[in-house]
Structure 1
Amino acid sequence: MARKFLYFIAVCIVLVIVGSIALTIWSREATEIAFVPRGEFVEQDPLAANAYQDPQMWYSRPGLGTGDPARYQPAIAETAPDPATRTPSPDAPAAEQSLDRNDPLATAGSVTGEPADPQALPEFAVFFVSPTSYIQAGGDWNAALGDATTDNRARLFLRGLASPFNRADEIWAPKYRQAAAGAFLTDRPEAQQAIDAAYADVAQAFDYFLDSIADDKPIVLAGHSQGASHILRLLQEKVAGTPVAERVAAVYAPGWPISVEHDLPVLPFPACAAPGQPQCLLAWSAFSDDGDADMIMRRYEATVGYDGEPRGDGPILCVNPITGGTNGAAPASANLGTLVPDDTLSKGELVTGAVPARCGDNGLLYIGDPPELGQGVLPGGNYHVYDIPLFWKNVQEDVIARVRAWATARAS
């Protein structure tokens, strides 16, 4: 029920604090002591070959009806901040400050509280991989299937993160034996073993997904944080150089750092350079303008890219979720709807014109001085929890435009 929806914000706090490889905010030593599993890695038994035929192995899939968390559609706030009254951040570039409501970008689109008429939408299938919901200090390296806490958190996360894709006629989000949050905070070999084990489940689910959808249906791949990392690996190992690549309309991988120099060239799709461009990749990581990402950037620079080389101090890929293109800036007035919780975290509404977006030189996405969004905002102005909810309605419209462009290109 909607009353429970933004509880996911509260539990996301824990997720983000111990989160992904690029989003550590504590010292490495303190984090490892608190959350990196202390025991040896225990190799998981492979899933049965037909495991994903079982509907219970999916958080979201066709046939779940109102119980499908990815089908959530938030209401529209009765009142919204007037974009004309917002003061641009003094750190924003002149181009952003000069945009006003007469600009086509600033007045694009309108927000409704209901999904569009299914008959007017292109058919497409979404494969969405959820972020880490297995968060346990001193636990195992991988979650166990059937763990109630992990599953409940995952469903809550999907209501906020996967729901912008709810206009798809098919949404598939698999259960998988996630790597523990602490696996992304250490260089111990057990950590990579745990991540590999989690990916093996995701890869098996992806194979079943492909076997279950129509051969000519366009595909959207999406995930957040750990889920985004698995999506990017699928691109390299299951999509690149195969007929599946021709069917991918777009890829959404926010919340995971993609090096422009050492990761992007290895992936089978370029970064999205413009709105409505098909067969491209979107990624961003949100911070307030006064945020401090120093520790995050230092951790990122020390990691190895997909080409096997250290990522170094090169920029992270930033596709602006408001403009739909790489880099650049957009005013808050162009934000079609931010998913904002109330004070009790008991419900959420879409608020128009709440948050701007500007890609910084380092590749992080800066969102000005945003409104109060609850306890999920981390020290240092880190808005990882809200990477997708900040731009909920823009993402919903963006995916439709890219699928339509894919279909038009195939018809010509």
Structure 2
Amino acid sequence: MLTTACASVPVIPQEGKFPVPPPPDYRQAGNWAALPTTDDYADRTPADSILDRQAIARADVFFIHPTIYAGTRKHNKLWNASLKDDKLNESVDKSTILNQASIFNGAGKVYAPRYRQANLSVFYDNGAAVKTQALDTAYADVLAAFDHYLTHFNHGRPIIIAAHSQGTLHAIRLLADRFVGQALHQQLIVAYLVGMPVRKREFADIPVCTDPEQTGCFVSWRTYREDYVPDPERNDTSIAVVNPLSWTTATTRAPSSLNRGGVLYNFDGGPIPGLVWAEIRGAFLYTNKPSFFGDIFFRSQNYHVADYNFFWSNVRHNAGARVQCYLRKQ
């Protein structure tokens, strides 16, 4: 969920019914937020010295975006977003595709499907009754998009799976359905499963990454301000946390000097080196409050919206390093 704003509640389906918008046809380029063959926000970089290398990339990135559908809209009042909602599509493009998917254009060709994302409300009590149905509908699209990608675009190339929040929930299912115990596992470079809790032993044959160049593994973290105190039941030691500055599971603090550059609300302002430090404590990743113009209004202890942005350059560099390591092994 890229947004943490309060959401208005969509129309609750009648008992025994769950109306949804029509499914997308992934043969149509308009049903993709990013393709390497189109001009889109995943092609952007925050500085002239940072290049979009998709044209020469030897790997692919399948990116699953987080929740942007956070309220009822003029053309869609259902629990799942309509892909005909142009305003919502624009919001997806200018937020998560720009700030998150763009990270990976230096490591691979970026494919990011639009999908009938579940409304933000399903993650709160007022959406509990329809949560499974809404998320299943969203995942059906993600799986269909991935299968279309495999059939028409992949051509046996190595793959990075990258996701955030709701997207990570779908990525977990996708890895279980298409990679675990299957031949496609051999094409997996790494999975970035960010913004949701992922168990260390979630997958039988995809371990937690403990080294910055390890491949065939996954990384995960959820970011909070250093003074955040979680409820004890949330601090589950079975949850995987990888530090995106050291790319290990060590609990020692990785200093801000290791931060190659975070990207804040002014994307074109370029990465800010040394933005935050990072430290694993239990099931969470902690950082200091970053210093930037207007930071007095940045009061949240939950840095979910910045899970990628605080470590933008480090994730970009790491994705490229893992691609090169994978290719050397082949």
Contact 1:327 1:359 in 2 (8 A): yes
2:267 pairs with 1:340: no
Report deviation, 1:380: 4.6
Distance 1:56-1:265 versus aligned 2 partners, 3 A rule = closer
Distance 1:389-1:376 versus aligned 2 partners, 3 A rule = farther
- Indicate the structure (1 or 2) with the bigger Cα radius of gyration: 1
2:177 pairs with 1:237: yes
Q: Could you say which residue in structure 1 is the equivalent of 2:20?
A: 44
Rounded to whole Å, the distance in 2 between the matches of 1:142 and 1:117 is: 34
Contact 1:61 1:172 in 2 (8 A): yes
Q: Could you say which residue in structure 1 is the equivalent of 2:99?
A: 160
Q: Could you say which residue in structure 2 is the equivalent of 1:372?
A: 292
Per-residue CA deviation, residues 332-368 of structure 1 (Å, 9 max, x unaligned), is 00100111335xxx853211112111111x2211112
Contact 1:126 1:171 in 2 (8 A): yes
Rounded to whole Å, the distance in 1 between the matches of 2:304 and 2:297 is: 8
Report deviation, 1:284: 0.6
Give the 5 Å matches for 1:235-314: 235-260=175-200, 264-266=201-203, 268-294=205-231, 298=233, 300=234, 313-314=236-237
TM-score w.r.t. the length of structure 1 is 0.71
Contact 2:53 2:107 in 1 (8 A): no
Distance 1:250-1:237 versus aligned 2 partners, 3 A rule = same
Report deviation, 1:316: 2.7
TM-score w.r.t. the length of structure 2 is 0.88
Contact 1:222 1:253 in 2 (8 A): yes
Q: Could you say which residue in structure 1 is the equivalent of 2:66?
A: 131
Q: 1:55 aligns with which of 26, 29, 35?
A: 29
Aligned-partner SS, 1:141 = coil
Q: Which amino acid aligns with 2:116?
A: R
- Identity among equivalent positions (%) equals 30
Report deviation, 1:237: 1.3
Per-residue CA deviation, residues 141-180 of structure 1 (Å, 9 max, x unaligned), is 1111211222111101210011110114411000111111
Rounded to whole Å, the distance in 2 between the matches of 1:46 and 1:252 is: 29
Aligned length: 322
Distance 1:130-1:332 versus aligned 2 partners, 3 A rule = same
Per-residue CA deviation, residues 256-292 of structure 1 (Å, 9 max, x unaligned), is 11133xxx34354111101111111011111111124
Q: 1:114 aligns with which of 50, 72, 93?
A: 50
Report deviation, 1:223: 0.8
Contact 1:122 1:404 in 2 (8 A): no
Rounded to whole Å, the distance in 1 between the matches of 2:59 and 2:198 is: 26
Distance 1:45-1:287 versus aligned 2 partners, 3 A rule = closer
Rounded to whole Å, the distance in 2 between the matches of 1:373 and 1:251 is: 33
Contact 1:236 1:268 in 2 (8 A): no
Structure showing greater relative contact order (alpha-carbon pairs closer than 8 Å, 6 or more residues apart): 1
Distance 1:191-1:341 versus aligned 2 partners, 3 A rule = closer
Runs of 4+ in 1 over 4 A off after TM superposition: 116-119, 373-380
Give the 5 Å matches for 1:197-212: 197-212=137-152
Q: Which amino acid aligns with 2:241?
A: C
Report deviation, 1:39: 3.7
Aligned-partner SS, 1:16 = coil
Aligned-partner SS, 1:126 = strand
Report deviation, 1:376: 11
Report deviation, 1:315: 4.5
Distance 1:280-1:381 versus aligned 2 partners, 3 A rule = same
For structure 2, list consecutive stretches of 5 or more residues without a partner in the other structure. Answer: none
Report deviation, 1:116: 7.5
Aligned-partner SS, 1:188 = helix
Aligned-partner SS, 1:252 = strand
Per-residue CA deviation, residues 371-411 of structure 1 (Å, 9 max, x unaligned), is 2375898755111111001001100110011111111222x
Q: Could you say which residue in structure 2 is the equivalent of 1:192?
A: 132
Rounded to whole Å, the distance in 1 between the matches of 2:271 and 2:163 is: 21
RMSD: 2.7
2:70 pairs with 1:150: no
Rounded to whole Å, the distance in 1 between the matches of 2:214 and 2:294 is: 34
Report deviation, 1:126: 0.5
